[in-house]
Chains A and B, each alone.
Chain A
């Protein structure tokens, strides 16, 4: 196995262990999405089957589960970026750069850590959802597609966190993106279907890539067969992940050139 792969795996493992050892970094990505899911399910339980435009679902929990998964990944990605910024603040990043470790592994290791946590979190949320009565209509295929979507989204979000960390070198600045993600989620179909929105708010939700990601995730939970929403969501996720990787790589090389 090539040294870069081994080093990526080692740095990825370090990222996962580091997050698991700091509950204050882990709790927000579990607590907020689950609490909001519980509150929305209690508040909007009467919506399915009653409101025109609401997709046919067994219950609101089935509808809300994808939003919770996506929210958890967004918050978790912010934490990954903050952890990378802390590495820069604490000098670990400089020591890594000065060592014979592959430059690519420094970047991919952190992102791999984010992806691993996102996939584990997705499985955890699915298990909690199922325990409270949700059903994944897509079955094993649906769960696998959900994991792929979670991994791609984690690449995009962790990549963005890494870019901010490299640009600012400040964990606080990376954490500052949390309200932005929170706002982006509300202006999408993460919590309620786009079909029930109107006016400028619907236009914003239509333009928001989060709408397509969450709808693809939801497709696996509420539909027995994958629909066009899955393909569109996968396309958006691949595009975002590729863009984030390219931008993170550029930011990484710019920082190294700046250090010379």
Chain B
């Protein structure tokens, strides 16, 4: 157990220092959430004049979209790194070593969680520069917690894809699914404002509940009734996508 944890931490550290060695891999995951924050808050600010927004600042309303998106990118990075490691033979060498296989999943998961801490901090700081103070200690903690949870879920998804496709060419699949899951939730407006097919899809989309909990924390309206669906959605996604990653891991070496 301790041996496995040490190796997992080592793999997480290796994944994190890749940020310095290959900034081109990490930079988009930092720039995109900031771009989404600025572009969305600027372009769609007018929608916040609808009564359903109850006078909330649209920049504050958009911060959870950017933190969740940043966490999604942190997770996608884990899958892309794994795909490169598979192509480069690093994963084969690790599988042939006495290291427990599970560390191949746990290490990048830890790295994804830590990266999401960084992207969330950057987004909150950008919000602060834009005049939006962080939402108190407990609210900020919830924003971070949900971002970490979502990064782990997306990391499991992306690693599951990488373990099956075994090529970096699968990166668009990792990205498109995460993008669609975020943008078909309550990314731009609360559920009461959504219309047509998006209203139905957002009701079924677990990211809606993560975003709503994070948004309630950001807007200072968080209660248990907003928090628990978000926590259940994160836990459910991690359980489901963790199984997806683990079954992918089990298939390693079979082909």
Contacts and interface: CB of A to CB of B under 8 A. Distances in A.
Contacts of A35: 180, 183
Given A42-B196, A43-B193, A192 B43 contact: yes
Given A39-B184, A183-B39, A47 B46 contact: yes
B197 A197 contact: no
B195 A192 contact: no
Contacts of A196: 45-47, 49
A39 B44 contact: no
A18 interface: no
B46 A197 contact: yes
Interface string A7-48: 000000000000000000000000000011011111111110
A43 B188 contact: yes
Contacts of A52: 49
Given A39-B184, A42-B199, A43-B187, A193 B193 contact: no
Give the size range of B's interface with the partner: 20 to 34
A226 B179 CA distance: 37
Contacts of A193: 46
A54 interface: yes
Contact of A187 (B43, B180, B197): B43
Nearest to B52: A46
Given A47-B47, A52-B49, A192-B44, A42 B39 contact: no
Contacts of B189: 43-44, 46
Contacts, number: 86
Contacts of A39: 183-184, 187-188, 198
B50 interface: yes
A196 B184 CA distance: 24
B35 to A, nearest CB: 7
Interface string B33-49: 00100011011111101
A36 to B, nearest CB: 8
Interface string A56-72: 00000000000000000
Interface in B38-77: 39-40, 42-47, 49-50, 52
A110 B199 CA distance: 43
B45 A197 contact: yes
Contact of A46 (B35, B45, B193, B197): B193
Contacts of B46: 47, 51, 53-54, 192-193, 195-197
A246 interface: no
A92 interface: no
Contacts of B52: 46
B39 A186 contact: yes
Contacts of A198: 45
Contacts of B49: 50-52, 196
B25 interface: no
A42 B180 CA distance: 14
A40 B46 CA distance: 13
A191 interface: yes
B45 A43 contact: no
Contact of B50 (A36, A42, A46, A192): A46
Given A46-B195, A183-B35, A192-B46, 16 more contacts: A38-B198, A39-B187, A41-B196, A42-B199, A43-B187, A43-B198, A46-B47, A51-B47, A51-B49, A54-B46, A183-B39, A186-B42, A195-B46, A196-B46, A196-B49, A201-B43
Interface of B: 35, 39-40, 42-47, 49-50, 52, 180, 183-184, 187-189, 193-199
5 contacts: A43-B187, A46-B193, A192-B46, A196-B46, A204-B42
7 closest A-B pairs by CB: A42-B198, A196-B46, A201-B42, A45-B195, A186-B39, A43-B188, A43-B189
